[in-house]
Structure 1
């Protein structure tokens, strides 16, 4: 998006008039649906406007709806824009997190939760495409689950750690998510973070019983497939044996005696 196109969105998204903000968000949604690809600079400008759109939203119910609307923008993007848009979101949250006051923190916590959830839903809808998952994991290693970069606030890290398994659990309906790849940045943070309390928090997340349940269900599913394959093979072998016996019997049979 060219600067002259993005600036009106930013100004309107940050308007003090709720109706103007709502119209701007609707127009942005339409624009994103029609835009083949976004550059990072443009995506960052848009996220700055979206950040202030949330900043200016008051009262819990409108805030919750706005958070859902912002996270849902991921699903209207063209494929070439998804990773750029996701990176811009995390870069914006990392930059602005320490500026969020305690009266506004809850709505941003909710926004981040929904964003994590909808990214997982998006990846699931793309059948957990390996390259896409790996690139997104790289973004998380750079921002939300970054190990040492001082530009990423620990408050954001703690929150992502707290919600990561929850939101993955909700999205992984068929138990087919590539868990080891998706959990890799979490494991790395738990091993390499210089902050002891953060390492401990990560370990609590990795000790979540649901991860054991996932592993158990996957093993059971694999065993079931092996059993089914074995049963099918046995059935084929048995059918072949019976056919052979029938053929031998036909050779020996000389007909009924008169």
Structure 2
């Protein structure tokens, strides 16, 4: 375990002074870039870091700095050594689970964005590194024939989703019981707030689309998507929360999911026939456009 003395910037991450916070974040970036250090961090060390990062965002004002900070925090996984990424993400979800209900309405929006960015970064991290092949066209063509997804990383991210934002209450209680009876795991999920679950249910399809998981021609992506959908389906079937059940069902009905696209395409010809003679009804009565559907 790293000592507090080896991480003096932790306290400064939560400083009310923007310059001090910015300097502390730069120090953290350098700290995590050192493989021999970041690989040796224990669960309590990473929790301390995320506690500081949580309050760094808490103290951050104005939209642009908040958006920038959320992106920077999410992208920290890309400077970590391979073996340190999963503990880092577990500590993130443990921190958000513990702090979520204490976030006031005025600060909630920036933490919603942070969760979105971390989910997106996790999906992106599932892809294999292809930078080494960027210079050779032939190698690129060969790689196109292979899966761009790293199987081990996919397993870890899917497991992480099932352990935290898509966790069943019964699984959370069992993990809590094992934690009490056996070796203490400081990142073990005790309770996952309903609001946190519902937010991830709202945004996971968006973030999946950004990294190519909705590509119907990518068989590996389709299999990953099915594994995540299975977690959401379990929530719909077995969650104790009626709100989570409803949101899970709505999430699985998203038209962007490959299975739902086919159903939507099949229904379109009928809708076209019905509305062919009613073009004037497409606009609202006052001739205005009603905007995008969410």
Q: So what's the TM-score if we normalise by structure 2?
A: 0.69
> Could you say which residue in structure 2 is the equivalent of 1:78?
81
1:213 CA drift (Å): 6.2
Tell whether the 8 Å contact from 2:253 to 2:260 is kept in structure 1 after alignment: no
> Could you say which residue in structure 2 is the equivalent of 1:163?
203
Greater gyration radius = 1
Tell whether the 8 Å contact from 1:43 to 1:88 is kept in structure 2 after alignment: yes
1:188 CA drift (Å): 1.6
Tell whether the 8 Å contact from 1:71 to 1:118 is kept in structure 2 after alignment: yes
RMSD: 1.9
Q: Distance in 2 between matches of 1:147 and 1:6?
A: 38
Tell whether the 8 Å contact from 1:133 to 1:182 is kept in structure 2 after alignment: no
> Could you say which residue in structure 1 is the equivalent of 2:122?
119
Q: Distance in 2 between matches of 1:215 and 1:128?
A: 23
Q: In the TM superposition, what whole-angstrom CA distance separates every residue of 1:169-210 from its partner, at most 9, and x where no partner exists?
A: 111266442222233322221211011221111111111111
Runs of 4 or more, structure 1, over 6 Å off, are 213-216
Aligned length: 216
User: Which structure 2 residues correspond to residues 1-258 of structure 1 after superposition, within 5 A?
Assistant: 2-5=2-5, 7-36=7-36, 37=39, 38-125=41-128, 127-148=148-169, 149=172, 151-172=191-212, 175=218, 176-177=220-221, 178-212=224-258
Q: Distance in 2 between matches of 1:159 and 1:56?
A: 22
1:86 CA drift (Å): 0.6
1:7 CA drift (Å): 4.3
Tell whether the 8 Å contact from 2:123 to 2:207 is kept in structure 1 after alignment: yes
Quickly say closer, same or farther: Cα 1:17–1:82, change in 2 above 3 A.
same
1:141 CA drift (Å): 1.6
Tell whether the 8 Å contact from 2:120 to 2:207 is kept in structure 1 after alignment: yes
Q: Distance in 2 between matches of 1:76 and 1:194?
A: 38
1:159 CA drift (Å): 0.2
Unaligned stretches of 5+ residues in structure 2? 130-147, 173-189, 263-294
Tell whether the 8 Å contact from 1:134 to 1:181 is kept in structure 2 after alignment: no
Q: In the TM superposition, what whole-angstrom CA distance separates every residue of 1:23-47 from its partner, at most 9, and x where no partner exists?
A: 1111111111112413222111110
Name whichever structure is richer in helix by fraction.
1
Unaligned stretches of 5+ residues in structure 1? 217-258
Q: Distance in 2 between matches of 1:69 and 1:120?
A: 16
